[in-house]
Amino acid sequence: MSLIDAARAVRENAYAPYSHFKVGAAVRAKSGQVYSGCNVENVAYPEGTCAEAGAIAAMVAAGETELTEVAVIADSPLPVSPCGGCRQKLAEFGRHDVKVALATTDGKLHETTIGDLLPGVFSAEHMERS
């Protein structure tokens, strides 16, 4: 199963009763294991949590801390990019050259990297004097 297929499969589990906008994400860890996540909305926070954050949380819960590939999929006219918070999380766990595939359910694909999604990332290097 490809990373996009893993994201597509978990997207169906998204809990999006307010926006009806389901997003699925999958990350491949350094070990090769694939972890996936979907967006989850609630009445107090209708925009919900992001699919990418869920996939990263699953990876970390399994004891892994480095991702090597990312895929995100949604039913939209153009590929959906991760939000700012998820971009920072991706940068925390993946190198700047990690491939990110952004896809639509009807087959449009945009390939980029974590570094291109988040130029000027805040990193541990900024805290070396702390």
- We report the CATH number of the domain holding residue 14 as 3.40.140.10
pTM for the full model?
0.91
The string of pLDDT tens digits covering residues 111-124 is: 999 999 998 888 87
Contact (Cβ atoms closer than 8 angstroms) between residue 87 and residue 119:
no
Helix residue ranges, H only, the chain: 3-11, 51-61, 84-93, 114-117
Residue 128 domain-assigned (yes or no):
no
How does the average pLDDT of the chain come out, rounded?
A: 93
Parallel, antiparallel or unpaired: strands 23-29 and 67-74: antiparallel
Residue 129 domain-assigned (yes or no):
no
Residue 117 domain-assigned (yes or no):
yes
Question: Is 52 designated active site?
Answer: yes
The string of pLDDT tens digits covering residues 4-33 is: 999 999 999 999 999 899 999 999 999 999
Contact (Cβ atoms closer than 8 angstroms) between residue 69 and residue 98:
yes
Give me Rg for the CA atoms of the chain: 14
Which residues form the domain of 9?
A: 3-121
The one catalytic residue in 47, 52, 64, 128 is: 52
For the chain, percent helix, then strand, then coil, each to nearest 5? 30, 35, 35
Contact (Cβ atoms closer than 8 angstroms) between residue 18 and residue 46:
yes
Residue 48 domain-assigned (yes or no):
yes
Task: Say how many domains are in the chain.
Answer: 1
